[in-house]
Structures are given as structure tokens and as C-alpha cells.
Amino acid sequence: MSNIKQTTSLRNYQVGVAKILELDATQDFMTELLDELHENVSKDELGDDAAISFNGEIEKIKGKYEEFLQFTGALDLTYYTHDIITNEVMTDRLEQEVKCLLLTKEVGQKLQMEDEIEIELNGEEYDLYFLDEDDCFNIKDVLHEYIYLNKNNYPKQATESPAED
């Protein structure tokens, strides 16, 4: 698995050289994301099949938006939650594409993009994030947002439908 810290800097990357990320519950910040999803499930209700992983890359690019980071990959979660109807504990799954660009705040201000949430690069749409004042970003925070914007807020267990005659 990747040995990467939760916070990373634009300065840590060379232009055009992608860093492959293979993140899972061995990284503390990934475990914290999974634990947060389980905050309403008691420990004795948790089973063994909860899992979290992110496989992707970070690449520094220089061009249209000066120097910026492209953060892309696949987020995969299996977690425990409660059925909204029966309140029984159940597992749910989230498979989510992560596709974002992280620009410096200065570039965002210069291009008047502070209120934008999407951005185009080479004909493709990306979610737009900004690096902090030290040109860093928190991987956990970005993944957290992807989870909570895309997880099922109304989980319901699959029920068997009666056989038709």
C-alpha cells in the first residue's frame, strides 16, 4: 500500500509524474473515514466485512491553470448502517469515481473561480478544489466530501419480492 500522509503538498510532486495511490484501512485517516460512517452502529453490531480503499493517482500539471494537482481514482467502501424502515443493521456499498483538480488559491482568485465547483480540462469535467495557503491539501477531507455527497442517505435492505404465478 502507498506510504502517503493525510496532507500532501504541491511541492512534493514533479510536473508530469503521477504518484500511484493504493490506500486502505492500514492508513489511519482511511480507518477514521470508515469509523465515522459507523458512528451510529454499536461495536457489537459491526461485522467483519467493512472495508475502505482508494486506488488512484495524484499528478502535478503545469498549463492552463499554472501549476496544479489532478487527483483521480476509485473509492470503494463497504460499511454498516441502519435500514431506514426496519432500523436493522445492514451493509451498504459505495463505489465512487474521484475526479478533481486542486488549484492554488491565487489562481482561483486571478481567474475569479472562488465560487465554482466544477472545472474543465482537456474536454473533461472535474470537481474543483483549492489548495490551502501553503499549497497543501488534505486527502482525507477530499475523500470525506466524496463519501458524504454520494453515499446512500436512505439505505434499505433488499427484500425478496413474492414469486409471481
* Residue owning grid cell 491553470: 65
> Can you state the angle between helices 139-150 and 28-37, rounded to 10 degrees?
30
d(CA 108, CA 111) in angstroms, rounded, equals 5
Q: How confident is the prediction along the chain (165 residues), in pLDDT tens digits per residue?
A: 456 789 999 999 999 999 999 999 999 999 999 999 999 999 899 988 999 999 999 999 999 899 999 999 999 999 999 999 999 999 999 999 999 999 999 999 999 998 999 999 999 999 999 999 999 999 999 999 999 999 999 999 877 655 554
* Assigned domain for 32 exists: yes
* Assigned domain for 163 exists: no
d(CA 73, CA 14) in angstroms, rounded, equals 19
pLDDT score, position 150: 97
Q: Count how many domains the chain has.
A: 1
* Assigned domain for 68 exists: yes
d(CA 125, CA 97) in angstroms, rounded, equals 12
Domain that holds residue 143: 7-150
**Neighbouring-strand partners of residue 130:** 103
| Residue closest to 94 by CA, chosen among 145, 52, 48, 56 | 52
* Assigned domain for 159 exists: no
d(CA 51, CA 3) in angstroms, rounded, equals 18
* Assigned domain for 1 exists: no
Which cell numbers hold the place of 134?
A: 501553503
* Residue owning grid cell 474521484: 98
* Assigned domain for 90 exists: yes
* Assigned domain for 161 exists: no
